[in-house]
Amino acid sequence: MIRGELVFVTLLLIFISYLFYEAIGYPLITAKLFPILLIIIAYPLLLILFIRNIRHVIMKEGQNGKDSRNFLQEAIPFIHVLTLLISVYLLGFYLGFLIFLLVVFRYYQYPLRISLPLIALAMLITYLFSLISPLWDGILFHGVL
Amino acid sequence: MVLQFFTIDVFFYLIVGLLFFFIIGILPVVGSIQGLAILLPLVYKLDPPQAFALMIGGASGMWLSDAACSILLKIPGSSPTVPLTFDGFQLTRRGLHGYALGAATSATILGGIISGIITYGIMSVLLLLLMFLGPAEITIIIAWGLIASIILLIGKEKIKELLSAIIGLLLSTVGFAETAHIARFTFGFYDLWDGIPLSVFFLAMLGLPEFLGFLVRREEFIVDIKYLTYVGGFRTREFYKKFIEGFKEIFRSIRIFVQAIITGLIFGIIPGVGTTAASLLAYAQSGLLTKRKEKLGEGNVDGVIGPQSAIISCWFGDFIPTISFGIPGSAAKALFLGLFMMKGLMPGPHILKQVDLVNYILLLVVIGVLLGSILIIPLLPVITRIVTIRITSWVPILLGIIFIAVYSDRSSLFDLFLLFILTLLGYSLNKYGFSTPMVAIGFVLGGILEQNVALTYQIYGLSFLYKPTSLILIIILVAVTIVSLRMLRRKQIIAMGEEDD
């Protein structure tokens, strides 16, 4: 029964605490003044949100685990983007983008007569971009070459 | 001279920008902000006049295509054009789409010209005042801009708004600090020494979370084909006759038009209030001032003229604080501010050395609005068909283009990983009620604010608050905030009353 906002606020608190720890270590006052000032303002506000969320969870006014139940469905578009990222990294823009499009159009169950012209269009755009600036070849291709 | 900037290249980029933003204006998922975020990585290699023509000129021309989407299809292209769906669509249902479009076009064109002239006048005076401002005063103005944006936002959680601004300011400190000659918060990545690239940041905060949100919710806009048959009824003699009739209607509603222009300009100048509030309040004012026999909401053309004029004048008014003081009133203007800095146009007293470029930008906005209004009408039958395409089919392609554009900025794969991580942050912020536009505004202002804070601290210490100019400025800014707050409250009550009616 975890409220998503509580997790997010806690992560923000941890992250800001780390930034505070790092900022304190800077030797010059001009380097640390601004970030420390900001963190000092942010801390009480985050604590207010944190306490408010805890109270919601205790009083069971939260979303009763709805967040965690929907998590997988919500994560799917991000998994798609991650697929694009990893496939571009491994295979370069042409093949990476192609695989990503195949995965996504398959997921949304598009027929071939729609997905093929769209893929062709995407490849054409990629080619046009490559004329302006060189694109990433991918580590697999670098290895082969 | 301003005219030296207007080369054939500039007009080419302006037309490309207009066509791009016409499509963006029609698409329901994306607004001007997402369009600008997509274009930002692409303009790195362009000269400032070309980049401004593509982004600023293009975005200025999209308001009529946005309005057309609301009037013809009842799908607001972006939130400010929501009031146009009330009366504009009622007119379309009665077959008077030409009439409604004519009224919207006249409001856009006349509103653009008049707001442009007023904005130019106000800017000229402000540029003279800028000579008297030092780092202490700039610090006070920027801090006020941020605080006022948070105070004046209607119906939002203030704690989360403030936190969002702080997160943006903190993220702006990543990278090499010029004030201290040290790299901060780089987590061991050398790619972060130059800070987070503006294009990556804006896409991650304002662009991608919106697209992914639609994919998560699996929202599709169902467009009733029978309304598209109205759209098909273009290019006929009847359409143009009604169009000209609608165009002339503005002269019968001159009071509503003037009132809307004033509301829009004021709301544009005050940071944080935004175009949506301006157009909603102009709609409420139109209800109070209308002398036509139809009630508002039943196909009264004043319900089109008022909001559309306010939207245009607010768009212009927003440029005043953005260019002169570096305080963006909205996310779109934060993006423009980022673009200005990327192209070496620093707001504040530095801008006095580049007055020609400032005048060029203002003229570009006027030309963008006029050219956009002229070009969109013949293109409407083609462009409106775009809404029938499923979102899930064009978002993946757009994602690929975004990835390629981000990579080609610095030819760095690290930027793509950064984009992914920041998009997760942007999506979470959006989901849990934080304000990503405030994060963007904080991020853009961070650099200028820190520089001025450091300078002020070195020159005056804390005694800068007791300087006569600082004291006068603080009093004026507090007074402006209180007056704006009172005005907003009163108008909110009017708007709520209208809603009840």
Q: Is B416 on the interface with A (CB under 8 A)?
A: yes
| Residue A68: predicted pLDDT | 53
Residues A51 and A86 in one domain: no
| Last-in-domain residue among A52, A68, A84 | A68
**Under 8 Å between Cβ of B358 and B50:** no
Nearest C-alpha neighbor of B215 from the set B399, B38, B406, B69: B399
Q: Distance between CA A38 and CA B462 in Å, rounded?
A: 17
**Under 8 Å between Cβ of B334 and B444:** yes
Instruction: Looking at the complex, report in whole angstroms how far the Cα of residue A51 sits from the nearest Cα belonging to chain B.
Output: 13
Residues in Cβ contact with B181 at an 8 Å cutoff, skipping those fewer than 6 apart: none
| Residue B492: predicted pLDDT | 58
Q: Please count the residues of chain B.
A: 501
Q: Cβ of A133 and B212 within 8 Å?
A: no
- Give how many domains chain A has, as a whole number: 2
Q: Distance between CA B407 and CA B409 in Å, rounded?
A: 5
| Residue B171: predicted pLDDT | 92
Task: List chain B pLDDT tens, one digit each, 501 residues.
Answer: 677 778 888 889 999 999 888 887 777 667 778 888 888 888 877 888 889 898 888 888 888 888 888 888 777 767 788 888 888 888 888 878 888 889 999 999 999 999 999 999 998 888 887 777 777 877 888 888 777 777 766 556 778 888 998 999 999 999 888 777 888 888 888 888 888 988 889 889 888 888 888 777 766 665 665 666 666 666 677 788 888 888 888 888 899 999 999 989 988 887 766 788 888 888 888 888 888 877 777 788 888 999 999 999 998 988 888 888 888 877 888 888 888 888 888 777 777 778 888 888 889 899 998 988 888 888 877 777 776 777 777 788 888 888 888 888 788 889 999 999 999 999 999 888 888 888 988 898 888 888 888 888 778 777 777 777 777 878 887 887 777 777 666 655 555 545 444
The most distant pair of C-alpha atoms in chain A lies apart, rounded to whole Å, by 63
Pick A133's closest partner by Cβ from B159, B216, B411. B411
Q: Percent helix, strand and coil across chain A, each rounded to 5?
A: 80, 0, 20
Nearest C-alpha neighbor of B430 from the set B280, B208, B235, B255: B208
Residues A41 and A95 in one domain: no
Range in A76-85, A99-108, B137-146 with the lowest mean pLDDT: B137-146
Rg of chain A over all Cα atoms, to the nearest angstrom: 23
Residues A90 and A117 in one domain: yes
Q: At what angle do helices A71-107 and B208-217 cross, to 10 degrees?
A: 90
Q: Which amino acid is at A58?
A: I
In angstroms, how far is CA A139 from the centroid of its own chain? 22
Nearest C-alpha neighbor of B407 from the set A74, A14, A104, A137: A137
Token pair listed for B259: 């009132």
Residues A136 and A86 in one domain: yes
Residues A77 and A63 in one domain: no
Q: Please count the residues of chain A.
A: 145
Residues in Cβ contact with B469 at an 8 Å cutoff, skipping those fewer than 6 apart: B132, B133, B134, B136, B137
Complex ipTM value: 0.85
Q: Which residue has the tokens 């965690």?
A: A68
> Exposed, middle or buried by CB within 10 Å (0-12, 13-18, 19+), for B133?
middle
Q: How many Cβ pairs within 8 Å bridge chains A and B? A: 145
Residues A53 and A79 in one domain: no
Pick A22's closest partner by Cβ from B163, B185, B396. B185
Residues A84 and A139 in one domain: yes
| Residue B501: predicted pLDDT | 42
Is 0.90 surpassed by the pTM of this model? Answer: no
**Under 8 Å between Cβ of B299 and B91:** yes
Q: Cβ of A26 and B159 within 8 Å?
A: no
Token pair listed for B422: 């920041």
Q: Cβ of B420 and A33 within 8 Å?
A: no
| Last-in-domain residue among A33, A68, A103 | A68
Q: Which residue has the tokens 């939130």?
A: B79
Token pair listed for B478: 């507090």
Residues A79 and A139 in one domain: yes
Residues A90 and A63 in one domain: no
Token pair listed for B248: 């002339």
In chain B, what is the straight-line distance between the N-terminal and C-terminal CA atoms, in Å?
53
**Chain A neighbors of B45, CB-CB under 8 A:** 132
Residues A95 and A113 in one domain: yes
| Last-in-domain residue among A25, A53, A68 | A68
Q: Distance between CA B22 and CA B391 in Å, rounded?
A: 17
Beta-ladder partners of B182: B177
Domain span at residue A23 reads 4-68
Q: Distance between CA B219 and CA B130 in Å, rounded?
A: 48
